[in-house]
Structure 1
Amino acid sequence: MIISKGDVLQAETRPSEWPGWVWVTTSNQVSGWMPLAYLDPDGAAWRAVCDYRDVELSVQPADTLEVLYTQDQWAWCQPAQGEPGWVPLAVLERLNT
């Protein structure tokens, strides 16, 4: 799911282990999780305040990632090769360099 700043979305809270995230649906009926902090109310709908992609990375214990930013218990990470994506903070360990 790719969201652009200004997109109008339907949002609903669902039971989740990730506080601060809501289930959103685009005008094209594509759905996925998005941080509530990235949305502003717009009448009965919500408007995206920034661009967003819901890519979740599959990572292995030996993988090295660059954490670009964090949001509500998740990190947007850049792997050594490939595209960036979200990883739960709970599975990351800071390296001492």
Structure 2
Amino acid sequence: MPKYGSIEGHNCSVVENWVATYSDPIQVANGETIELDGRVDVWDGHTWLWAKNLEGKEGWIPDCIVSNEAPFKATESYSAMELTCRKGQSLKALRVLHGWAWCSDENGKNGWVPERNLHMINRS
């Protein structure tokens, strides 16, 4: 398995199927006020916070994009959209954040895939 973060910007092969968890996930804009209810989850060593955006949509967001003081605000735009993918599929990992990779598939569809489900394709 590649070192954490080393797949960013590279083509990857999916080593384990992934099915998106939410069909209409939370999104926040940079500077948007968000509500936190105190729920916290640690996933693969990274802290996630349960948040509600201005539209009332709720979901998990990485703690690193939340301001440190109330009223809490998103410090960058973020979408929790996941990408359903199958073993053997090729994806481009565009960004790595909190154990997830923002990927693009061959049809131009984008979303998050767990980094542990990907393996960087060696370039010759």
Shared fold (TM-score, shorter chain, > 0.5): yes
Per the TM alignment, residue 62 of structure 1 is displaced from its structure 2 partner at its CA by: 1.6
What is the TM-score with the length of structure 2 in the denominator?
0.70
Q: Determine the structure 2 residue equivalent to 1:67.
A: 93
Per the TM alignment, residue 10 of structure 1 is displaced from its structure 2 partner at its CA by: 1.2
Counterpart-to-counterpart distance in 1, 2:117 and 2:41: 21
Amino acid corresponding to residue 122 of structure 2 in structure 1: N
Counterpart-to-counterpart distance in 2, 1:33 and 1:15: 8
The answer for unaligned runs of 5 or more in structure 2 is: 1-25
Q: Tell me the secondary structure at the aligned position of residue 119 of structure 2.
A: coil
Deviation per CA, 1:30-62, whole angstroms, max 9, x where unpaired? 10111111110342x310111111101111012
Per the TM alignment, residue 27 of structure 1 is displaced from its structure 2 partner at its CA by: 2.6
Larger relative contact order (C-alpha < 8 A, sep ≥ 6)?
Answer: 2
Residue 13 (structure 1) aligned with residue 39 (structure 2): yes
Identity %: 24
Whether the 8 Å contact between 2:41 and 2:48 is mirrored in structure 1 is no
Residue 34 (structure 1) aligned with residue 51 (structure 2): no
Amino acid corresponding to residue 57 of structure 2 in structure 1: V
Per the TM alignment, residue 4 of structure 1 is displaced from its structure 2 partner at its CA by: 0.7
Counterpart-to-counterpart distance in 1, 2:99 and 2:48: 10
Counterpart-to-counterpart distance in 1, 2:92 and 2:48: 22
The answer for unaligned runs of 5 or more in structure 1 is: none
Counterpart-to-counterpart distance in 2, 1:26 and 1:81: 29
Residue 89 (structure 1) aligned with residue 115 (structure 2): yes
- Judge which range, 5-14 or 55-64, deviates more: 5-14
Q: Determine the structure 2 residue equivalent to 1:2.
A: 27
